[in-house]
Structure 1
Amino acid sequence: MFSDADAAALYDLLNPWDPDRHPEDHFYYPLVMGAASVLDIGCGTGAMLHLARARGHRGRLVGLDPDRVALERARRRADVEWVEGTAADAPKDANFDLATMTGHAFQFLVTDNDVRASLVAIRAALRPGGRFAFETRHPQVKAWQEWRRSNPDDVVELVDATGRAFRVWHDVDSVLDDVVTFHGTTAEPDGTVLRVDSASLRFLDVATLNTFLADAAFTIEAQYGDWDGGPITADSREIITIARRS
């Protein structure tokens, strides 16, 4: 058996949150630690907010996610608020200094209505002048072409806390306009499939993304093409955005 709880624990193994080792976490860490109140949208198992509190953040920290099982794992730390819901369910008039969507969570907003409703709610959750920091993969590099079992860089071998070994890989099912649908497979080392999870991601280009932000009354404070703060270029793999509530 490979339960939802097992999958949540495996996610933490696959995606450890460590600003000392991972450039994307290093980018967000000072933003989070420097904000008096933080809303982490798509918080998953809560690793980022766990670490922020452990390293001395004294303000309000709230994690929001629709995955109940992931939130159960997040609630191992009780000095952070955990709320079940989507980005569109962000609390209104909460006066957060910072909202985040890390781990490419923004790409799970697949339809125009999803994006619009989420941005409206996020803006309403921020104080005037509050900031929204997030990233989305730049469509120009077609990252999904790397998501296949035949690509050795996409196959991950790991061992969980009980000593059980796993193999994880991805395969793309379809590419329709700017939406990519794929599935991830978790298997035993011999290839015996334990679990298959499907998802769709949207790959917005810069112009379309910025139009959505402007329509939601956000002003772009900064936009980068890499985690070192470089500009967006023809080779950029990311669109990293800090937007301010107008």
Structure 2
Amino acid sequence: MECEGWRTLPPVYSDADAAALYDLLNPWNPDRRSDDRFFFPLVMDAGSVLDVGCGTGSMLKLARERGHRGRLVGLDPDCAALDRARLRADVEWIEGTAADARSGAGFELATMTGHAFQNLLTDDQLRASLSAMYGVLRRGGRFAFETRHPQARAWEGWTPSNPDDVVDLVDDAGRALRYWHDVDSVVGDIVTIRGTVAKPDGTVLRVLSESLRFLDVAALNALLVEAGFEIEGQYGDWDRGPITDDSREIITIACRR
């Protein structure tokens, strides 16, 4: 119980602030970004789309703005991100994880963009999520997603000593901010990182922790086949080049048979 005259102070940097920062750090723009340009035509060509890990909903919002007339549904467990997504009411927004997706929905396309697939950390989570993705699709429906190729060791660049990983920006509230990553651990194929939001002088406002799984091609494909998917296409870059020894991505389009 709170003492009389006391009140709970808001956090210095709230969940809503973090959701707004995500949009600044990751603007959805298929006209300028090669990853967005890969996914956006798939979305626009599908009559119904489920975007898993939709975050603040930028992809589906833009699809609606550019004339998509079919069913668009975003699914995400982050309430603050969904609050921001729900500013647009002509898209359906649902709180939940990939494994919560409702079977029998008959979507033509399911997506997981922004490397959201890497947040599935255990084999059980992966199996449950892939089974759910298979279940939400109609026969012939496609599941499109990407995961970073472990051979590229992307986490080695996630450090404040890498100037490309330090971002200075001004947020929607007019605050000057600095954002960077640190790697806390690499255990097997799981990498745990921290994203730090700070003032330009280094005063820390918020630390955002995340763990990511780096599956190789063989392990990923075995799980997809086990779930019933047929691999329609798999690429090592956003121009649909093949996976090679230099690839940084494993970009997959899997089909429900």
TM bracket, shorter-chain basis: over 0.9
Q: Secondary structure at the match of 1:181?
A: strand
**Aligned with residue 61 of structure 1, among 69, 72, 89:** 72
Q: Which runs of 4+ in 1 moved over 2 A?
A: none
* Corresponding residue for residue 188 of structure 1: 199
Superposition pairs for residues 133-172 of structure 1, below 5 Å? 133-172=144-183
**Deviation sequence 1:109-141 (CA, Å, 0-9, x none):** 000000000000010000011000000000001
1:12 aligns with 23
Residues 113-122 or 160-169, more deviating = 160-169
> Please, which of 221, 231, 235 is the counterpart of residue 220 of structure 1?
231
Paired residue secondary structure (2:16): helix
Give the conservation status (yes or no) of the 8 Å contact 2:54–2:75: yes
Q: In the alignment, what sits opposite 1:234?
A: 245
Name the CA distance, whole Å, in 1 between partners of 2:204 and 2:117. Answer: 29
TM-superposed CA distance for 1:150, in Å, is: 1.0
Distance in 1, Cα, partners of 2:51 & 2:109: 8
Task: Answer with 1 or 2: which has the greater Rg.
Answer: 2
TM-score with structure 1 setting the length: 0.99
Aligned to 2:129: 118
Are 2:20 and 2:172, in contact at CA under 8 Å, matched by a contact in 1? no
Q: Distance in 2 between the 1:144 and 1:225 partners?
A: 18
For 2:42 and 2:48, how far apart are their aligned partners in 1?
A: 11
> Hey, what does 1:205 align to over in structure 2?
216
Q: How far apart are residue 210 of structure 1 and its match?
A: 0.1
Distance 2:31 2:91 in 1: 22
2:107 is matched with 96
Secondary structure at 2:81's aligned position in 1? helix
Provide the aligned length of Structure 1 versus Structure 2: 246
Corresponding position of 1:84 = 95
Q: Once the 2 structures are TM-superposed, how far is the Cα of residue 160 of structure 1 from its aligned partner?
A: 1.5
One-letter identity of the residue aligned with 1:8:
A
Unmatched tracts of structure 1, length 5 or more: none
RMSD: 0.5
**Letter matched to residue 128 of structure 1:** R
Please give the per-residue CA displacement for 1:2-23, whole angstroms capped at 9, x wherever unaligned. 1000000010000000000100
Counterpart residue number, 1:32: 43
> What is the TM-score with the length of structure 2 in the denominator?
0.95
Q: How far apart, in 2, do the equivalents of 1:165 and 1:26 lie?
A: 30
Partner SS for 1:9? helix
Write the distance in 2 (CA, Å) between the matches of 1:180 and 1:231.
25
Corresponding residue number in structure 1 for 2:9: none
TM-aligned CA deviation for residue 163 of structure 1: 2.2
1:66-98: per-residue Cα shift (whole Å, max 9, x none)?
Answer: 001100000000000000000000111000000
Matching residue's letter, 1:58: R
Q: Deviations over 1:177-225 (max 9, x none)?
A: 1000111100001110000011100000000000000000000000000
Query: Sequence identity, in percent?
Result: 72
Q: 2:118 aligns with which of 104, 107, 132?
A: 107
* Residue identity opposite 1:57 in structure 2: H
Encode CA deviations 1:31-72: one digit per residue, 9 max, x unaligned: 000000000000000000000000000000000000011000
How many Å separate the matches in 2 of 1:70 and 1:34?
Answer: 26
How many Å separate the matches in 2 of 1:193 and 1:32?
38
| Paired residue type of 1:61 | L
Q: CA deviation at 1:161?
A: 2.6
